[in-house]
């Protein structure tokens, strides 16, 4: 392992080790780890290519690449043939640039005028969501004597950021007067492309396409058009246009559990830890903070060194399960910040045995979609909530 090929991203620095204590003189890595399967990432890019052909892909790596690790995941995606990267915030784009990534980077979030100079200095593509924002970018670029790269954002029904589709001509007209901005693209964002009901997605797409009629109507070249996200790639092929933005699909997770079940996407992430304590809990003993679980009989309970401080949701207390020895066992008692307890009944387990919270062990698999359904949230929240303090190991 060389320094420019880090197989382990460890948040607290120090000597890296590919396995627990395998490098002489190193300390053991924390037993709670996130494993990232880079071959699965490559597989998922190939799956996307099988649908979209040669269209450019914007790989969405915001929120620490959906919990997978911003820098290493971005590097691997670019090796896999992803053309551009998409982030939410300025600081994410700066972090990628400081890591030596030179690929085009689109910052999808809103702009404060005071940030414009940093966007331009770091060669980041800026989302211009109104005439006022475009003018702020133009004035900053003129003052710096540089050019700004801009994508125009049209709101077709999400009501987040972007000029309303029925006023989009105002933003398009304003681009005709700017001298220091390169208009690299125009885009919108679907509100419910994952839904089984396609009506609102179709309406949004119609609004977007009608707004874009401005360009041929005025004999102007149309900027690169993009609106399709992961769910649209999977079930709305008419929306693929000139470029696609894919996020959750890259990581082997479907925007809806039953969507495109035939496509061989593979989960990229596996969250695992090791048993650090074993005890027998007596009948009627209360377990954990607030005693929310009471043993109905003498039972064996193990403690795992992982908790909500690592991003494993506290709402999984008493309803989640963990794989130990290839079998599912229930989480018992309230999950605490750094530890949780698991009842293994009369089964056997030993200190240092592997426990899997997300991913496969033996013939069983706990998916983040399953966890999300258990606590009525989305897989996006499960993945992006995984804390940076958990070391990522790249396989």
Can you give 26-81 as a three-state secondary structure string? CCCCCCCEEEECHHHHHHHHHHHHHHHCCCCEEEECHHHHHHCCHHHHHHHHHHCC
**Any domain includes 11:** no
pLDDT of residue 90: 97
Strands 163-164 vs 57-60: parallel, antiparallel or unpaired: unpaired
Regarding whether 247 and 205 lie in a shared domain, the answer is: yes
Q: Are residues 228 and 283 in the same domain?
A: no
Q: Give tens-digit pLDDT for 238-270.
A: 999 999 999 999 999 999 888 888 899 999 999
Identify which of 256, 219, 268 has the alpha carbon closest to the alpha carbon of residue 36: 268
Alpha carbons 44 and 40: distance in angstroms, whole number:
6
Burial of 109 (0-12, 13-18, 19+ CB in 10 A): middle
The answer to whether the CB of 269 falls within 8 A of the CB of 34 is: yes
Type and span of the H or E element at 186 = strand 181-187
Q: Quick check: is 341 in a domain? A: yes
CATH number of the domain at 345, please.
Answer: 2.40.37.10
d(CA 351, CA 278): 7
Residues 224 and 310 in one domain: no
- Residue ending a domain, among 219, 251, 283, is 251
Is residue 167 domain-shared with residue 306, that is, in the same domain?
A: no
Please check whether residue 261 lies inside any domain of the structure: no
Does any domain span residue 180?
Answer: yes
Same domain? For 300 and 239 the reply is no
Low-confidence ranges of the chain (pLDDT < 50): 1-6, 10, 12-27
Residue where a domain terminates, one of 192, 223, 251: 251
Please count the structural domains in the chain. 2
Predicted local distance difference test score (pLDDT) of residue 7: 62
Distance CA 48, CA 55 (A): 10
CA 278 to CA 341: how far, in whole Å? 10
Span between the terminal Cα atoms of the chain, in Å: 12
Identify the domain containing residue 78 by its residue range: 35-251
**Exposed (0-12), middle (13-18) or buried (19+): which is 221, by Cβ within 10 Å?**
exposed
In a domain, 385, yes or no: no
Q: Which residues are catalytic?
A: 62, 289
Does 164 lie in the same domain as 74? yes
* Backbone torsions φ then ψ of 340, nearest 5 degrees: -150, 160
Please check whether residues 230 and 316 belong to one and the same domain: no
What are 196-206's pLDDT values in tens digits? 999 999 999 99
Is residue 221 one of the residues assigned to a domain? yes
The answer as to whether 390 is a domain residue is no
Partners of 214 in beta bridges: none
Domain CATH number, residue 241: 3.20.20.10
What whole-number distance in Å separates Cα of residue 277 and Cα of residue 284?
20
| Dihedral sign of CA atoms 314, 381, 364, 388 in order | negative
According to DSSP, the β-strands at 299-304 and 340-345 are antiparallel
Q: How far apart are CA 41 and CA 23, in angstroms?
A: 27
In a domain, 333, yes or no: yes
């Amino acid at each position: 392992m060389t320094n420019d090929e880090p197989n382990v991203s460890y948040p607290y620095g120090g000597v890296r080790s590919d396995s627990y204590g395998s490098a002489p003189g190193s300390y053991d890595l924390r037993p709670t780890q996130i494993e990232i399967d880079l071959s699965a990432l490559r597989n998922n890019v190939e799956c996307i290519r099988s649908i979209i052909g040669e269209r450019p892909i914007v790989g969405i790596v915001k929120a620490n690449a959906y919990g997978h690790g911003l820098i290493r995941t971005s590097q691997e995606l670019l090796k896999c043939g992803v053309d551009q990267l998409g982030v939410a915030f300025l600081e994410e784009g700066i972090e990628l640039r400081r890591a030596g990534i030179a690929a085009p980077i689109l910052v999808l979030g809103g702009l404060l005028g005071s940030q414009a100079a940093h966007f331009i200095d770091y060669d980041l593509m800026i989302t211009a969501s109104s005439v006022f924002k475009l003018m702020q970018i133009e004035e900053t670029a003129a003052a710096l004597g540089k050019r700004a790269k801009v994508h125009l954002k049209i709101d077709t029904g999400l009501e987040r950021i972007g000029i309303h589709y029925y006023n989009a001509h105002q933003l398009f007209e304003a681009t005709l007067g700017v001298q220091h901005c390169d208009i690299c693209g125009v885009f919108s964002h679907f509100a419910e492309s994952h839904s089984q009901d396609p009506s609102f997605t179709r309406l949004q797409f119609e609004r977007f396409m009608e707004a874009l009629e401005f360009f041929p109507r005025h004999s102007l070249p149309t900027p690169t058009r993009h609106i399709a996200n992961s769910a649209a790639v999977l079930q709305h092929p008419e929306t693929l246009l000139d470029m696609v933005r894919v996020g959750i699909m890259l990581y082997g997770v479907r925007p809806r559990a039953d969507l495109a079940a035939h496509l061989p996407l593979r989960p990229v992430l596996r969250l695992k830890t090791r048993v650090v304590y074993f005890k027998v809990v007596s009948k009627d003993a209360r377990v954990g903070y607030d005693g929310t679980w009471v043993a109905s009989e003498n039972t064996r309970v193990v403690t795992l060194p992982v908790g909500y401080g690592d991003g494993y949701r506290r709402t999984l207390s008493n309803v989640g399960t963990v794989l130990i020895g290839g079998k599912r066992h229930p989480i018992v008692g309230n999950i605490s910040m750094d530890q949780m307890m698991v009842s293994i009944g009369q089964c056997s387990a030993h200190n240092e045995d592997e426990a899997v919270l997300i991913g496969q062990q033996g013939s069983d698999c706990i998916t983040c979609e399953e966890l999300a359904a258990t606590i009525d949230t989305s897989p996006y929240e499960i993945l992006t909530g995984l804390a940076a303090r958990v070391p990522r190991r790249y396989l």
